[in-house]
Structure 1
Amino acid sequence: MLLDCVIVGGGPAGLNAALVLGRARRNVLLFDNNKPRNAVTHESHGFLTRDGVKPEQFRRIAHEEIMKYPSVRMKQATVTDIRHHGGGFEITAQSGERAAARKLILATGLREEFPPIAGFTQFYGRSLFNCPYCDGWELRDRPLVVVSEGANLFHSAMLIYNWSRNLLLCTNGRAVLSFDQKQALERKGLLVIEQPIAAFEGTDGQLEKVRFQDGSAVARAGGFVTPHWIQAAPFGARLGCATSELGGFVTDAFGRTNVKGVYAAGDTSVVAPSQLVIAAAEGSRAAIGVNGDLSFEEYTY
């Protein structure tokens, strides 16, 4: 059976795309490997009527709502290959199952690569985070550390200053701040340390101090670490989808990539800010693009 669309990725973007296409009476198969990037997240914020929702609760509600639409199927499986086939696409799962579709939505998201600092993993998702819009409120007015090895450190400092005025800014040994930027930060009373970080220290997931290579340490109660973002799956690159400077797929107003029939949604195309509500909206946008293009093709050919 030739499907109208296959969606690869079962996060908020893929799920919302499936919902919209189901309501449009499109035959859809969604592949989900059940390995969400937000597995360490306890709650998601910034989504009206769902502020504070637990990721597993969000997925359960989404699955229940999508299953009301009989033209949508969801398959827990890892996709291993996607190829152009007969004017559409052939998708192969690890189980050997194959599906053919006229359109393809990539909602596989991004993968975070953090600086290899000792102790980081025991605090990530508990007192160290990457998105102030997601977790800044919970860390408000605490002494925080902000770590970035990139040129966005200055921007991050200005942003996070809104939640806490007690900031330690770390470049982890990189020269990413200009002389003027350092002076501007110091005028705000912010501490800048450019030497490498030896370790994050604390107990039971609660950060207590940041230790540097010279043995010195600064007490902190939480903070934000900027990751390097890369595509979580290779399919878009293999199909020839163009990427932006930040690593996301370039799309138009309806999620279309430069490859005919391939759409991208969620973190796959919008690298930052990484929020539940934005990813879900991206899924809706791509689904509307798919349905509109299918309708046009069916009417004119």
Structure 2
Amino acid sequence: MIENNTYDVIIIGGSYSGLSAAMSLGRSLRHVLVIDSGLPCNRQTPHSHNFITHDGEKPAVISAKAKIQVDFYDTVQFYKGLAISANKTESGFEIKTESGKAFTSKKLLFATGIKDLLPKIDGFAACWGISILHCPYCHGYEVKKEKTAIIANGDMGFEYAKLISNWTKDLRILTNGKGTFTSEQSRILKQHKIEIIEDEIVMIEQENGNIQYVIFKDAPKIDVKAIYFKAPFEQHCPLPETLGCELTEQGLLKADAFQKTTISGVFASGDCHVQARSVTLAVSSGSFAGAMINKEIIDEEFV
């Protein structure tokens, strides 16, 4: 329940990183508002892995349990909705939501994640996070030694193949067009019996998000258990950029070792800032950001 409109910290984004920051700040006796629209990027993923004590758990179950634990701290409040504007004020920041609500705070944390930009291949989106995967550390064990493909090309495809070959030797590279490997890369891939299919992908035949076949324009269809794909992305929330926060060359929010962005009073945590994507790293960066925000407030008040 929202009891007032003024807080020490507003956190935009209430998934793993935002909730972790909220717990850190709640335990520091800070008045915190978490604004969340309820659309985490992994909402289609059936299981989360490589997170000790939660290995194999459903992502929504982890976040629901986290929210219950954070809600224990009476200085932390939640608002379900979409933040649509952020403005700097003399005392901090003002955030307005889609419903017309306005809230103010001394500090602002973006834990808003990123938006994956998926190729326009029929069936691809339905499989994303289920059988089309981004991270072998998160999901590789579950499809180890299975028929696997990588959608990639060139240097990235070569390095990705090296990585994925740790989990399976039954591996193909789908370039979705003309291959751009060097002759040396092609030689090494052939030596490791990694087939390169240079043809346009027409569709992914799937059932409930599970790949049945990959259909090509000219080449014969193939059956695989899993596909790995490194999706390009953009910031899920445009508000950091409207405030003037700079991005890195990769499109992540630029922040220093203390997770401060290039705008004073604005911090970043989780996938919108951390290059490697995993629940554990999102939780870690959120917890650290909460501590750094609390320290900044203490330093400003202890004069």
Q: TM-score, normalised by structure 2?
A: 0.94
Q: Distance in 2 between matches of 1:17 and 1:150?
A: 39
* 1:151, distance to aligned residue in structure 2 (A): 4.3
Change (3 A) 1:260 1:47: same
2:235 alignment partner AA: Q
Question: Which residue of the other structure, out of 289, 293, 301, is the alignment partner of 1:298?
Answer: 301
Question: Which residue of the other structure, out of 170, 175, 190, is the alignment partner of 1:171?
Answer: 175
1:12 alignment partner AA: Y
Task: Kindly indicate whether the alpha-carbon contact (under 8 Å) linking 2:118 and 2:125 is maintained by their aligned counterparts in 1.
Answer: no
Q: Distance in 2 between matches of 1:39 and 1:149?
A: 28
Indicate the SS of the match to 2:184: helix
* 1:86, distance to aligned residue in structure 2 (A): 1.2
The 5 A counterparts of 1:48-59 are 48-59=52-63
* 1:174, distance to aligned residue in structure 2 (A): 5.2
Partner of 1:191 in structure 2? 195
Question: Is it true that 1:107 corresponds to 2:88 in the alignment?
Answer: no
Change (3 A) 1:216 1:52: same
The 5 A counterparts of 1:1-301 are 2-148=6-152, 151-173=155-177, 175-272=179-276, 274-300=277-303
Q: Distance in 1 between matches of 2:132 and 2:152?
A: 13
Q: Distance in 1 between matches of 2:58 and 2:210?
A: 20
2:11 alignment partner AA: I
Unaligned 5+ segments in structure 1 are none
Change (3 A) 1:150 1:189: closer
Indicate the SS of the match to 1:217: coil
Change (3 A) 1:230 1:119: same
Q: Distance in 2 between matches of 1:25 and 1:242?
A: 30
Task: Kindly indicate whether the alpha-carbon contact (under 8 Å) linking 1:253 and 1:285 is maintained by their aligned counterparts in 2.
Answer: no
Q: Distance in 2 between matches of 1:268 and 1:126?
A: 22
Task: Kindly indicate whether the alpha-carbon contact (under 8 Å) linking 1:122 and 1:205 is maintained by their aligned counterparts in 2.
Answer: yes
Q: Distance in 2 between matches of 1:115 and 1:165?
A: 26
Q: Distance in 1 between matches of 2:46 and 2:206?
A: 19
Indicate the SS of the match to 1:108: coil
Task: Kindly indicate whether the alpha-carbon contact (under 8 Å) linking 2:154 and 2:182 is maintained by their aligned counterparts in 1.
Answer: no
Task: Kindly indicate whether the alpha-carbon contact (under 8 Å) linking 1:14 and 1:30 is maintained by their aligned counterparts in 2.
Answer: yes
Q: Distance in 2 between matches of 1:101 and 1:155?
A: 44
Q: Distance in 2 between matches of 1:208 and 1:71?
A: 49
Indicate the SS of the match to 1:83: strand
What root-mean-square deviation, in Å, do the aligned CA atoms of Structure 1 and Structure 2 show? 1.5
Q: Distance in 2 between matches of 1:87 and 1:13?
A: 25
Q: Distance in 2 between matches of 1:292 and 1:121?
A: 42
Deviations 1:40-61 (A, max 9, x none): 0111111111111212211221
* 1:152, distance to aligned residue in structure 2 (A): 2.1
Q: Distance in 1 between matches of 2:19 and 2:165?
A: 34
Indicate the SS of the match to 1:16: helix
Change (3 A) 1:9 1:202: closer
Indicate the SS of the match to 2:78: strand
Q: Distance in 1 between matches of 2:168 and 2:207?
A: 22
Q: Distance in 2 between matches of 1:142 and 1:160?
A: 11
1:229 alignment partner AA: F
Q: Number of matched residues?
A: 299
